[in-house]
Chains A and B, each alone.
Chain A
Amino acid sequence: MSLETPLHKAQGLGSAHSGVGHFKQQRVTAIALVPLSIWFGISALGLVGANEVSALIFLSNPLNALLMGAFVLIALYHMALGLQEVIVDYVSQEGPKLILVLLNRGFALAVGAACVFALLRIAL
């Protein structure tokens, strides 16, 4: 006789509701990225040909720094979710799959940390 609850038995064995969380996070970040991407596109076009001084003036504006930080972090989170979906679709062996999923998260964290550091250095 097992003392495990039915929930504990199901967790980690596939349909344990973590996939629903992934699905929801992918959509919520997508909705946030619609206005942020439009803002980013308009801003990037406005900085075409700009020298370093103009770029710094733009990025040190608190609102622009905040929006750029939000765009970068939410985009990277959305990216990590999406790339994980690609990895688990095409890589069936458990070992390589785990390594790629971890590398994917490490990549998102590294790029995010670099972008936030650069933004803080410019804006503060």
Chain B
Amino acid sequence: MADQPQKVAARPLSPFVTIYKWPITMATSITHRMTGVALAGGTLLLAWWLIAAASGPETYDYFRGVVASPLGQVVLFGFVWSLAYHLVNGMRHLAWDFGYGFAVPRANLTGILVAVISVVLAVGAFVLAYLGKGGYYQ
């Protein structure tokens, strides 16, 4: 057996994710799962915010400082984009659950729309915040 490795290699192989040229629907599907897992980590940020608010001014200011730091802003952007993507693509999934948008061209179109809208929402929120248009509940 060991002296015939080329025969084994010549067999047809079952395709795996690393073999496919990724269709849009496949990429949007795995991104939905990845943003979901990322948001599970994001719940710790949300919990930290609420606990900091309940713990007094010093704790809250420390939380604000961490989130405002460069690394904090990167993590926050990841959280905001993940939430935007999971929300918009989740609505796409709900439309499918009700039987709409299954045709391949339509599913591809809505997949691209979801990607664009999620980036617009996340970048838009950060642009508004950096332009001082946020903070209207102060």
Inside 8 A of B54's CB, which chain A residues have their CB? 117-119, 121-122
Inside 8 A of A79's CB, which chain B residues have their CB? 36, 39-40, 43
Inside 8 A of A68's CB, which chain B residues have their CB? 50
Q: A34-B90, A115-B47, A118-B50 are in contact. Are A86 and B37 (CB under 8 A)?
A: yes
Hey, which bits of chain B sit against chain A, CB under 8 A?
33, 36-37, 39-40, 43-44, 46-47, 50-51, 53-54, 56-57, 60-61, 64, 80, 83-84, 87, 90-91, 93-94, 97, 121, 125, 128-129, 134-138
Chain A's interface: helix, strand, loop or mixed, by majority? helix
Q: Whole-angstrom distance from the CB of A42 to the nearest CB of chain B?
A: 9
Q: Whole-angstrom distance from the CB of B104 to the nearest CB of chain A?
A: 23
B67: nearest chain-A partner, CB-CB: A48
15 other A-B residue contacts (CB within 8 Å) besides A34-B87, A72-B50, A115-B47 = A27-B94, A31-B94, A45-B129, A46-B136, A47-B135, A49-B134, A49-B135, A51-B64, A83-B37, A111-B43, A115-B51, A117-B54, A118-B53, A118-B54, A119-B54
Q: Are B51 and A27 in contact (CB under 8 A)?
A: no
Q: A30-B90, A31-B94 are in contact. Are A48 and B43 (CB under 8 A)?
A: no
Q: Are A51 and B47 in contact (CB under 8 A)?
A: no
B87: nearest chain-A partner, CB-CB: A37
A49-62 vs B: 1/0 string, CB under 8 Å? 11111111011000
Inside 8 A of A48's CB, which chain B residues have their CB? 129, 134-135
Inside 8 A of B97's CB, which chain A residues have their CB? 27
Q: Are B94 and A30 in contact (CB under 8 A)?
A: yes
Q: Whole-angstrom distance from the CB of A99 to the nearest CB of chain B?
A: 17
Q: Are A46 and B37 in contact (CB under 8 A)?
A: no
Inside 8 A of B80's CB, which chain A residues have their CB? 41
**Interface members, chain A 71-95 (any B CB < 8 Å):** 72, 75-76, 79, 82-83, 86
